[in-house]
Structure 1
């Protein structure tokens, strides 16, 4: 925990390592996560469609799964921070960027292991 997933159009350009580092810092500061627990996975989509248009748009959506217990205010503050980080880290290459973020509670059945 936290489990962070960044789904994005393959056409966007950004420094994933720097974004993840800043995202982890924000998650620690805002949601009281432990730095060593932050894990982010990036998944680039090969094809993105928006409405009826096939070109000129890109999508990025960040999902943060946290253990239950954070207030709605904390979750909202974290999603706003994520959107600001996306603004800073994704290059403006002339396409319309549709960016979104959400914080969700992990299901009580969530378990993990490390080796």
Structure 2
């Protein structure tokens, strides 16, 4: 654990290296919340449309969500949150004339309700 989701505006496709950003986020999780390397799983999902306010033209967003078990210190979660915003700023630049909104959410999931499995082929 953690499960990490990165939703990004499709207008950003090709402007950043998803694998490099994912590796940087996973390393940050290892450093700040003591996550095991093999437990960091990051998925990227392009979003076709972003509407901000009543105009919304030319805007882009990167939204990172961490889902993890409870028990991390508030200071560790704050370091993770701030670190994710910094890592995204290092790796993602908006196209000319666009505004880039970035956000991160750290959510704790119910340990009893979560199950996972690994299947090897």
* TM-score bucket (shorter structure): over 0.9
Aligned residue for 2:70, secondary structure, equals coil
Structure 1 gaps of 5+ residues are none
Separation in structure 2 between the aligned mates of residue 53 and residue 7 of structure 1, nearest angstrom: 21
Which residue is equivalent to 2:110?
Answer: 107
Say if 2:18 is the partner of 1:2.
Answer: no
2:93·2:100 contact (CA, 8 Å) conserved in 1?
A: no
Which residue is equivalent to 1:64?
Answer: 66
TM-score by length of 2: 0.90
TM-score by length of 1: 0.95
Aligned match for 1:31, one of 24, 30, 33 = 33
2:61·2:100 contact (CA, 8 Å) conserved in 1?
A: yes
Kindly report which structure 2 residues correspond to 1:15-54, keeping only aligned pairs within 5 A, or say none. 15-54=17-56
Q: How many residues align?
A: 115
Deviation at 1:106, TM superposition (A): 1.5
Aligned residue for 2:63, secondary structure, equals strand
